[in-house]
Amino acid sequence: MKLETLAVHAGREVEPATRAITPSITLSTTFERAQDGAFPGGHIYTRNSNPNRDALERALAALEGGGIAVAFASGNAATSAVLQALTPGDHVIASIETYYGTRAVLTGALRRWGLQADFVDMSDPANIARAMRPNTRLVWVETPSNPRLRLTDIAAAAAIAHAGGARLVCDNTFATPVLQRPLARGADLVVHSTTKYIGGHSDVLGGCVIANANDDFMQRVRAYQVFGGAAPSPFDCWLLLRSIPTLPYRVRAQSEGAMRVAAFLAAHPRVACVHYPGLPAHPGHAIAGRQMQGGFGGMLSFQVVGGEAEAMAVAARVRLIVRATSLGGVESLIEHRASVEGPDTPTPRNLLRLSVGLEHPDDLIADLAQAMA
């Protein structure tokens, strides 16, 4: 079944009692037992499971070609669930350019808990191999990365991880299953901030973890959802399921727009560098061409000539594009990323991150042109 068809139908069945095509929202926190103590409806308590969450998880698993999905109240909750499924003393290898929320979990509470982490440049798989230790249990790949859209060869990274007895996790938030299928390239788990492209409307917080099989590791991930209090609300699940049918078309349109905006910026004299894997000059262009299908995504970043003050000035002058954190929504957003990430950020101070929405690219280009005039 094609992705567009899966996006419309996965997790969505006509309700038998009312024949409703749009799923109802089940807000009940608890469910009646049968006289013999069983649960004929399949649900006990909404922190454990809920009809809306079950439907969303079926849809997410289908989109990524996985066997199981676990939904969470945020992307960071999904990340924390994976990392807390490890054992104190385990070693994790992550990209030198990892989303700052993921880095904060690895270097904050979980370091005190005993988790070890190293950050390496994953654009060269040899760096992963050199960082492997006997106690390495997880390799965390983010491709394209946030915010400079660096690329990692998923298949090569998975082979190295598996040879060392580790699992490979891929954060697929930027690419989405529309453009990239990490499980098919050897990844063991896929993580999303569903707040972003899957939600797509900047109105719901969420995350998910997807895997091929419900093994012991994924059962520990599920336990974090249930007992760690990280379960999403029924309404949040309903909103995300509502958004999935348009996901393929939104992502492809945003990718087309981003390609045009990136080409404009690459030719602009006030732009020092554009980070977008669709540009032939991007160092990861060849890898992106192999493992991203149908487009290069709606995210890009660019560095303004001069420095931080000049970059901030450009962001201050946009009129159509909105200055705000987040990405993947229908509206275009621009952000001075280093000021969000704090003083220890590796992000260049003159870098602006741009999430291209569904506006016409001519209008976005005109807005950027006047902002840099």
| Candidate list 171, 188, 236, 367, residue with the active-site label | 171
Clarify whether 47 is annotated catalytic: yes
Residue 352: phi and psi, rounded to 5, are -115, 130
Distance between start and end Cα atoms, the chain = 48
Q: What's the gap between Cα 240 and its chain centre?
A: 14
Clarify whether 2 is annotated catalytic: no
| Candidate list 47, 252, 260, 349, residue with the active-site label | 47
Q: Do residues 59 and 107 touch, judged by C-beta distance below 8 A?
A: no
- The three-point CA angle 256-259-264 to 5° equals 130
Query: What is the pairing mode between strands 167-171 and 136-142?
Result: parallel
Clarify whether 99 is annotated catalytic: yes
Edge-first strand listing for the sheet containing 68-72:
68-72, 207-211, 189-192, 167-171, 136-142, 91-95, 116-120
The tokens of 186 are what?
């050897």
Query: Residue 343: CB partners within 8 Å, gap ≥ 6?
Result: none
Q: Do residues 351 and 248 touch, judged by C-beta distance below 8 A?
A: no
Q: For the chain, how long is the longest CA-to-CA vector?
A: 75
For the chain, the residue count is 373
| Candidate list 137, 150, 196, 353, residue with the active-site label | 196
How far, in Å, CA of 218 to CA of 209, rounded?
9
The residues pairing with 271 across neighbouring beta strands, listed in sequence order, are 304
Clarify whether 236 is annotated catalytic: no
Note if the bond before 147 is cis, omega within 30 degrees: yes
How would DSSP label each residue in 104-151? HHHHTHHHHTT-EEEEE-TTSHHHHHHH--TTEEEEEEESS-TTT---
Q: Do residues 231 and 77 touch, judged by C-beta distance below 8 A?
A: no
| Candidate list 12, 53, 90, 99, residue with the active-site label | 99
Catalytic residues: 47, 99, 171, 196
